[in-house]
Amino acid sequence: MRLRCAVLDDFQNVATEVADWSPLADDVEVVPFTTHIPDEDALAAALADFDIVVTLRERVPFPASLIARLPRLKLLIASGMRNSVIDYAAAEAHGVTVCGTASSSTPPVELTWALLLGLARGIVQESNALRGGGPWQSTVGADLHGRRLGLLGLGKIGSRVAQVGLAFGMRVSAWSQNLTKEYADEVGVHLAGSKEELLADSDFVSVHLALSDRTRGLLGAPELALLKPTAYLVNTSRAAIVDQNALLTALHEGRIAGAGVDVFDIEPLPADHPMRTAPRLLATPHLGYVSQANYATYYGQAVENIQAYLAGAPVRRLP
């Protein structure tokens, strides 16, 4: 009897198209789930008859309580080589092998700039006005050249965002708790003296930090109050780094010029979530990693992981 493999959160219904799953045809039945399963009870019921689960990024938690309710589960594959919502100890205790895949930093870099440029030039507002018979030129765009781009985080993604900013002629600063002047100099950016200095001086602020106990809530109401009223904030990292209520207040009260957000405290966003209707907000449904090349890698390597597991030699094991 063939094993059963669930592919979670395949919203675009492309998982079986962007990669070749045919090598598994004799051994594995692949079942995509095109809608999100929101709670543990529903997940336990939906996945009860599956031996393999492919999960997308960190959208679906796999705590010990869920793993214990999936007695058939033997292989769990996460896209990317880092996943903070899987209980690895519980997986090991229940005999579940956990594997990951490669993930490119290029798509989130590109989306960061799509959001930043969209905000700066009022792209959505102007496009909607043009297509809807509205006013001809209703906004005055914010310039990038000569303006200060402040980066919270200068890792693999942040450093590449910095290079684009420099190419636009921006003055780029960066700060994080572990960032050194030597590395900032190597990237070619200014090391801000403090988080507060970076926020107060920047015309555009972009978040590129990993979520941890140190970064959770890093930008709350006091920090957002340091931003210029003409400043823009972009977050393509993790929602919990920025206090969502404080951000909503700043947007509604016009304390900042706008925000570009790709990550949210609840995903997918409920229909009545206040982020859907906030003013001065350019929002996208967590598209940072969503690209043809990344999906081909995720699902292509998921196939490889399954083949290796069936051969008794798992690859790309996590953590």
Q: What is the mean pLDDT of the chain?
A: 97
**Are the CB atoms for 151 and 208 separated by under 8 Å?**
yes
Give the per-residue pLDDT at 57.
92
Give the per-residue pLDDT at 1.
86
What the block records as the tokens of 319 is 């953590």
| SS3 at position 282 | strand
| SS3 at position 211 | coil
Is 126 catalytic? The answer is: no
**Are the CB atoms for 31 and 51 separated by under 8 Å?**
no
What the block records as the tokens of 213 is 């106990």
**Which residues are paired to 232 by β-bridges?**
204, 258
241-262 in b/e burial notation, b at 16+ Cβ within 10 A? bbbbebbbebbeeebbbbbbbb
**Are the CB atoms for 233 and 282 separated by under 8 Å?**
no
Rg for the chain, CA atoms, rounded: 22
Catalytic residue (choose from 267, 273, 280, 317)? 267
Give the per-residue pLDDT at 310.
98
Residue (of 257, 249, 258) closest to 282 by Cα position: 258
Residue positions counted in the chain: 319
105-116 in b/e burial notation, b at 16+ Cβ within 10 A? bebbbbbbbbbb
Q: Where are the alpha helices (DSSP H) in 121-180?
A: 123-131, 156-167
Residue in the structure block whose two tokens are 């493999």: 5
What the block records as the tokens of 107 is 């798509």
Catalytic residue (choose from 57, 208, 255, 286)? 286
Report d(CA 225, CA 256) in Å as an integer: 9
Mean pLDDT, rounded, for 169-174: 98
Give the per-residue pLDDT at 163.
98
- pLDDT of 305 higher than 90: yes
Residue 141 has what DSSP assignment? Answer: P
Mean pLDDT, rounded, for 110-135: 98
**Are the CB atoms for 160 and 109 separated by under 8 Å?**
yes
Percentage with pLDDT > 90 across the chain:
99
Q: How many Cβ atoms sit within 10 Å of the Cβ of residue 215?
A: 20
Is 190 catalytic? The answer is: no
- pLDDT of 303 higher than 90: yes
- pLDDT of 116 higher than 90: yes
Give the per-residue pLDDT at 191.
98
- pLDDT of 136 higher than 90: yes
Mean pLDDT, rounded, for 197-201: 98
Give the per-residue pLDDT at 300.
98
**Are the CB atoms for 101 and 76 separated by under 8 Å?**
no
**Are the CB atoms for 302 and 70 separated by under 8 Å?**
no
Mean pLDDT, rounded, for 196-222: 97
72-89 in b/e burial notation, b at 16+ Cβ within 10 A? ebbbbbbbbeebeebbbe
Mean pLDDT, rounded, for 118-131: 98
What sign does the CA torsion over 210, 215, 217, 220 have? negative
Is 238 catalytic? The answer is: yes
Report d(CA 168, CA 166) in Å as an integer: 5
The answer to whether the pTM exceeds 0.85 is yes
Percentage with pLDDT > 70 across the chain:
100
Catalytic residue (choose from 57, 147, 238, 255)? 238
Residue (of 234, 265, 303, 268) closest to 79 by Cα position: 303
Give the model confidence (pLDDT) of 230-282 as tens digits. Answer: 999 999 999 999 999 999 999 999 999 999 999 999 999 999 999 999 999 99
| SS3 at position 60 | coil
